[in-house]
Amino acid sequence: MLRQRTVAVPAATSFARASGLAALGFAFLIVAGNVVLVPAGLPRTGAGIEEVDRFFRAHGDLVGLGSAVTPAAWVLATLFGAGAVRVLWRSERDRGEAWALLGFAGLVLQNAVFTAVIAIRLALASTAADGVGADAGLWALHDALFTLNGTFLALALVGLSVGGLRAGLIRPWHGRWGLVSASLLFGSAVLTPLVMDHSGPLGLLGLAGWLMWVVWIVVYGLALMRRAPAPRPSTGR
- Residues 26-69: pLDDT tens digits? 999 999 999 989 999 999 888 888 999 999 999 999 999 989 99
Q: Residue 109 pLDDT more than 50?
A: yes
Instruction: Categorise residue 209: left if φ over 0, alpha if ψ from -120 to 50, beta otherwise.
Output: alpha
Give pLDDT, residue 199: 67
- pLDDT tens by residue, 191-204: 999 988 876 788 88
Give pLDDT, residue 117: 96
Mean local confidence (pLDDT), 76-93: 94
Q: Residue 88 pLDDT more than 70?
A: yes
Residue 188 CB neighbour total at 10 angstroms: 29
Give pLDDT, residue 202: 82
User: Cβ distance 196 to 171 under 8 Å?
Assistant: no
- pLDDT tens by residue, 150-178: 999 999 999 999 999 999 999 999 999 99
Q: Residue 8 pLDDT more than 80?
A: no
Give pLDDT, residue 6: 43
Mean local confidence (pLDDT), 209-234: 82
Q: What is the pTM of this model?
A: 0.88
User: Cβ distance 182 to 149 under 8 Å?
Assistant: no
Mean pLDDT for all residues in the chain: 88
Give pLDDT, residue 233: 43
Give the N- to C-terminal CA distance of the chain in Å, as an integer.
6
Residue 82 CB neighbour total at 10 angstroms: 18
- pLDDT tens by residue, 110-155: 999 999 999 999 999 999 888 888 888 999 999 999 999 999 999 9
